[in-house]
Amino acid sequence: MELGSRQVNAITVVAPKGRIDHAQAPLFQEAMKPHVAACTINGGPLLIDFSGVDYISSMGLRALMLIARSVTAQKGTVAIAALKPTVREVLEISRFHLVFKVYDTVDDGLIALGA
């Protein structure tokens, strides 16, 4: 999976695109690996820009959980921003909004993370 990534001061913004379904979830997880590895207590925060994500399945959500776990273990900071309305609903129904900080827009996330 292609992950567009950019740097805003210390913050890494990654932007997955399309559907994170059962087929794509492992690829999303793999593509996220270097960014997750860099998101430590000393590295900068990681902001996942969801504006290009149309759908996320349980497998995709599980991948998000693994990301949250790794980052927490490294004492890093990860957040999600700019979810499409139905994707946000799925996060709430699955209770993943309790796992991640979710910001309405990428800019909101950048400000909150101290850009």
Partner 1 sequence: MKVRFWGTRGSIPVSITAKDVRAKIGAALRVARDRAATGEFPGNDVEIERFIDDLGFSVSGTYGGHSSCVEIETGNEDAANEHLLCDMGSGVRAYGQRMMERYGPTRPQTYHVFMSHVHWDHIMGFPFFTPVYIPGNRIVIHGCHAELEFAFKRQQAAPSFPVDFSLLASNIEFDVIAPGETRSVAGITVRNLKQHHSGDSYGWRFERAGKSVVYSTDSEHRLENAEETQLFVDFFHNADLVIFDAMYSLADAVSVKADWGHSSNIFGVELCQMAGARRLCMFHHEPAYDDSRIDSVLAETRRFEEITREASALEVLSAWDGLEIVL
Q: Which residues bind partner 1 (CB under 8 A)?
A: 22, 55, 57-59, 61-62, 65, 69, 86, 89-90, 92-96, 98-99
What is d(CA 10, CA 18) in angstroms, rounded to the nearest whole number?
Answer: 26
Beta bridge partners of 47: 13, 79
Q: Shortest approach of partner 1 to residue 114 CB, angstroms? A: 26
How many other C-beta atoms can be found within 10 angstroms of the C-beta atom of residue 39? Answer: 23
3-state secondary structure of 15: strand
Q: Give the pair of three-digit tokens for residue 46.
A: 């990681």
Q: Shortest approach of partner 1 to residue 107 CB, angstroms? A: 26
Q: Which is nearer to partner 1, 15 or 67 (CB)?
A: 67
Q: Which is nearer to partner 1, 2 or 92 (CB)?
A: 92
Q: Shortest approach of partner 1 to residue 26 CB, angstroms? A: 8
3-state secondary structure of 40: coil
Q: Which is nearer to partner 1, 56 or 106 (CB)?
A: 56
